[in-house]
Amino acid sequence: MKDLKKQASVIFEQLHKNYPDSQCSLSFQKPHELLISTILSAQCTDKRVNSITPALFKKYPTPQAFAEADIEELKNEIRSTGFFNNKAKAIKASMQSIVEKFDGVIPNTLDELTSLNGVGRKTANVVLGDAFGIPGIVVDTHVKRVSNLLGLTRNTDPEKIEQDLMLLFPPEQWTLLGHLMIDHGRAICIARHPKCHDCTLNDICPSAKTIER
């Protein structure tokens, strides 16, 4: 564990050097907007989400407005993000929970956020880290892939990966770590064709030589 923590430290420093401007790529001004944008980002690019949310948040400016939204109208507003039926249901349900359980105010604890209908740990950690500045590790497909290839975890379950990474990195790095791994996963450690020859971590990545063959 001690050696793995040292390697984790090197990985964080190198990724931070490679992506100095790494941050949440979803546009938002209020916590509930980030929560909704994160739900919309599933199986959709952040760029596409950002293209529709200004009009969406103008039409539905508060959690109450989303909670009271006509579900068919909401579906139509978010149709271009894909899987709009399930996303509309999740958005409406989560906002109804916020209105009913928390008086319309987005809670700022993991347990409270994950108690909302349609909100899992990934979405909750995005909101905690980027809306409230509370450390949390987001495990999406990029973080899952990158952390496994770098040998930081052997687990495939997102919650177990989250717990493994929490043991290796200090809390003050958790939120940024997710952004760094996501940026690296998009730019270099691509799912089907990782660019190991361009990766500055290939000298310490246990998967690099295997993938390059």
Instruction: State the catalytic residues.
Output: 122, 140
Measured CA to CA, the distance from residue 154 to residue 161 in angstroms comes to: 8
Please classify residue 6 by burial: count the beta carbons closer than 10 Å to its beta carbon, then call 0-12 exposed, 13-18 middle and 19+ buried: exposed
**Contact at 8 Å (CB) between 166 and 174?**
yes
In 3D space, the residue among 108, 166, 161, 118 whose CA is nearest the CA of residue 139 turns out to be 161
The secondary structure of residue 7, as a DSSP letter, is H
Separation CA 190–CA 204 (nearest Å): 18
Question: By the 8 A CB rule, do 210 and 23 touch?
Answer: no
What is the distance between the alpha carbons of residues 114 and 103, in angstroms, rounded to a whole number? 16
